[in-house]
Amino acid sequence: MAPSTRDVQLTSAKASKEDADGAGEEVRLLEEYLEEVEINSSKLSGNLKRIQVRITGMTCAACSNSVEAALSGLNGVVKASVALLQNKADVIFDPSLVKDEDIKNAVEDAGFEAEIVPEPSTSYTKTNGALVGQFTIGGMTCAACVNSVEGILRTLPGVKRAVVALATSLGEVEYDPTIINKDDIVNAIEDAGFEGSFVQSNEQDKIILGVFGVSSEMDVQQLEGILCNLKGVRQFHFDRTSKELEVLFDPEVLGSRSLVDAIEGGSNGKMKLVVKNPYTRMASKDLEESSKMFKLFAASFFLSAPVIFMRVVCPRIPILYSLLLQRCGPFQMGDWLKWALVTVVQFIIGKRFYVAAGRALRNGSTNMDVLVALGTSASYFYSVYALLYGAATGFWSPTYFETSAMLITFVLFGKYLETVAKGKTSDAIKKLVELAPATATLILKDKDGNIVGERQIDALLIEPGDVLKVFPGAKVPVDGVVAWGSSYVNESMVTGESAPVLKEVNSLLIGGTINLHGLLHIQAKKVGSNTVLSQIISLVETAQMSKAPIQKFADYIASIFVPAVVSMAFLTLLGWYLAGVFGAYPETWLPENGNFFVFALMFAISVVVIACPCALGLATPTAVMVSTGVGASNGVLIKGGDALERAQKIKYVIFDKTGTLTQGKATVTDAKAFTGMDRGQFLTLVASAEAGSEHPLAKAIVEYARHFHFFDESSAAAKDGKNHEMETKYPGWLLDVSDFSALPGKGVKCFIDGKQVLVGNRKLLTENGVTIPTHAENFVVELEESAKTGVLIAYNNILIGVLGVADPLKREAAVVVEGLIKMGVNPVMVTGDNWRTARAVAKQVGIQDVRAEVMPAGKADVIHSLQKGGIVVAMVGDGINDSPALAAADVGMAIGAGTDIAIEAADFVLMRNNLEDVITAIDLSRKTFGRIRLNYVFAMAYNVVAVPVAAGVFFPWLRIKLPPWLAGACMALSSVSVVCSSLLLRRYRRPRLTTILEITIE
């Protein structure tokens, strides 16, 4: 019988060779992190050993620090990390200098109990196979919670980087799987008092499946038996509650589709498996959290409403009021009812505030929950004390049960609205996920390649090499190439281009696009996280997780805010109480049957509640989340909040010329031979030299020569009547070339028939001793003044001709440049082309600052020269040749279609090949940070205005005070105001070409 354990370890869960080498792994970079202490490479050459020590008796950070200091002080210990929450120490040491027993003794000498934990592998090897895991973190309420969780995660052994986002309730952790696993990370989150669960990682050999048909323990054992006997399965875990199966497998032995087929077949079809999309799982968790918060709010409201009714309405209804005043034991009936209702609200519905406050204090931090628990407990326990004191002495003081109940109700209402708003901020990712189809039609073939049938499969089970059928009107399931058929495909959802694109055999297809007309057979090339759509989702998601630099200051303020508020509340209580005792204000100010302490306590509770920093922590991340989603909807992918913050300060925008300001589709417009060489021979010679180059001008020259040879009847190349299509595919008319070399910024050099051929600019020819005659120079100057590029050709050290190449400008280039100037941004054009052509092109688009004849590596130098004095410089390029310049700029903008996006070098990826998106990127950045500044006003205005009122500063003159329940309403409204303010960014519309010129500097 199969084992009944919930976790079954089949083999040692070691990384595969691919994981160990880090090949094929795309590790997402986090915006904010704390680097682990790196082990000196010279020390790694020795035979180091790693052990874990279980430590008993640690209670706080001081304990863990003392243990870590004791271990680090041992001679031979290279690295020691102590995890307080896990009660473990991770020690890497040289066994020739220190022994296991010495480490144990060092811990015990520090005053704690120690036990060496046996490890399956004790040799330490530095691995590049780090994983990036994503975890949901429930229970965070403000920036202080975020700081607490991040601090805990970063201290875990094996964790390299960690970032937590309050707005999405997500954490992203980069960790070494040989030191720590995802379960340890989840346990650390839960030990800190938060709710933690694993979402996904960048492991390529893991799959999460929903299992249908498991209804009994026998079914579970059958499932486990199938997996235990399945070759290639390393480890699995089945959750009986959620019916989710997580499987770690060897992709070289077992494919994901084979795994699903084996389980369904092994159960004789009783079990049905569905691949779980991690984003869908996250969306369901968000919905579940929102539903849970609404239920808590509704329960609190219905229990609190009678308490308010008894306090406000009943005194005006004699019959009801007389019933409430009737004695029932030591107390009145109304007192019993208030106490019973509010106790349920305080300790059952409001339990989450006590739990969260406890974990915050246990971790040495304070947050909103501490303030809520403190304020509600003060009013509740005082009210209980007042009742007991009245029953014992006959002196009845007023109670404030309604304050506690309404405060919890308002806070829960605010949290519910926040969960709803947070869900709306993730709409961009949800829409992107919906672009991918759920199923696909797999074409089945026999060993000879003959089609034998079709099968409907889950789109997440597609494997590279699969041939899929795409019907008219259906979505393309994955990235691939057309294997059969032709059709027009709508790619607007990915590239932003509205015009359908013709796809024929060998044409590339992007997953998520729509096949409009014909039937297509496509061969899958990229699946899973490697598809363009998945990369876009990943980029948007990472951007939403990132933190803008301005947020770091807000997080710091939030971390010290709560202690300051508690101190302020204590001073308010002490001040009003002492002032009353010493007669600074009359007793007529006191409530009926009240005293000085109660009078002061109400002011103190109001201060505690109103000064919550919850909204402060939401001000930036919610705006960044909405902005990145809006950008993605408009074809502008933003890497994160720091990119947005830099972009709104841009003063210079540097444009590459070819492919950026121009269409990148160069054409030969003029061809002139000077030595009497036959035109066909001349073009054959030039095309043969340029055929090995990837430069756009080279391709234009080869295409021009090919067209001349096969469509010009005077061409000798057509005399044999060869098939034109075959000649296009196999250009046998080209001459044999030897010693070919491409010289960046100059041209190409090669040998044909033993004689040197040079094709390029003046510099190339003069460096090789070729003289340029006056008539040739005049012809080149004439081309350059017409915004064309002159290409000079020398054969056997003699100039034989010149070609004129033109690259048309993009139709929107001039308008965009003028719009940037109106926005206060200075446009600059940088090109490797000659000065005359550069100036001619710049004049057409309206750019005054031109840097020509700049080598590709020199573009970064131009950027550095403009960055002096802290000026923010943006670079707009094609994202491939301009990668060094994009990286050197403060803001890199890669412009191009979906399959060519330059994620690594650029901060903004402009999906559409349209310069209007440069305007959109800058304008959206400015509006986003304008919204963030407004959010901080909302976050702080309630505090700045209401805290003095809550503390009673104006009471002596205006008799104005802020009851605690109203303070709770203001606190909740501050968070709601911030989130709603950020959501208004969803109404953003990118500037139209007709209105760009109306933009003025504010």
Residues serving a catalytic function are: 656
Q: CA 545, 549, 550 angle in degrees (round to 5)?
A: 105
- Collapsed DSSP state (helix, strand, coil) of residue 916: helix
Residue type, 824: G
Sign of CA dihedral 569, 573, 578, 580: positive
- Six token digits for residue 3: 């084992």
> Per DSSP, which regions of 261-360 are E strands?
272-275, 327-328, 331-332
Find out whether 455 and 444 touch, Cβ atoms under 8 Å: yes
Of 464, 441, 468, 442, the residue nearest 528 (C-alpha): 464
Q: How far is CA 15 from the centre of its chain?
A: 26
Residue found under tokens 């959501």: 983
Residue 521's region, left for phi above 0, alpha for psi from -120 to 50, else beta, is beta
Find out whether 757 and 733 touch, Cβ atoms under 8 Å: no
DSSP label at residue 969: H
Residue 459: phi and psi, rounded to 5, are: -60, -25
Question: Which neighbouring-strand residues pair with 165?
Answer: 170
For residues 447 and 951, give the distance between their C-alpha atoms in angstroms, rounded to a whole number. Answer: 83
Find out whether 709 and 680 touch, Cβ atoms under 8 Å: yes
Residue type, 359: R
Find out whether 611 and 154 touch, Cβ atoms under 8 Å: no
DSSP label at residue 992: P
The full length of the chain comes to: 1002
Provide the angle, in degrees to the nearest 10, between the axes of the packed helices 916-950 and 549-581. Answer: 10
Q: Where are the alpha helices (DSSP H) in 730-858?
A: 762-767, 774-785, 813-822, 835-845
Residue 296: phi and psi, rounded to 5, are: -65, -45
CB crowding 577-600: b at 16 or more within 10 Å, else e: bebbeeeebeeebeeeebbbebbb
Pairing between β-strand 789-795 and β-strand 798-806 as defined by DSSP bridges: antiparallel
Residue found under tokens 């937590």: 164
Residue found under tokens 């559409």: 912
User: What are the residues whose beta carbons fall under 8 Å from the beta carbon of 198, sequence distance 6 or more?
Assistant: 133, 134, 135, 182, 183, 185, 186
Of 647, 434, 637, the residue nearest 539 (C-alpha): 637
DSSP letters spanning 514-550 = EE-SS-EEEEEEE-GGGSHHHHHHHHHHHHHH---HH
Type and span of the H or E element at 582: none
- What distance separates the 2 farthest-apart alpha carbons in the chain? 124
For residues 724 and 716, give the distance between their C-alpha atoms in angstroms, rounded to a whole number. Answer: 14
Residue 20: phi and psi, rounded to 5, are: -65, -35
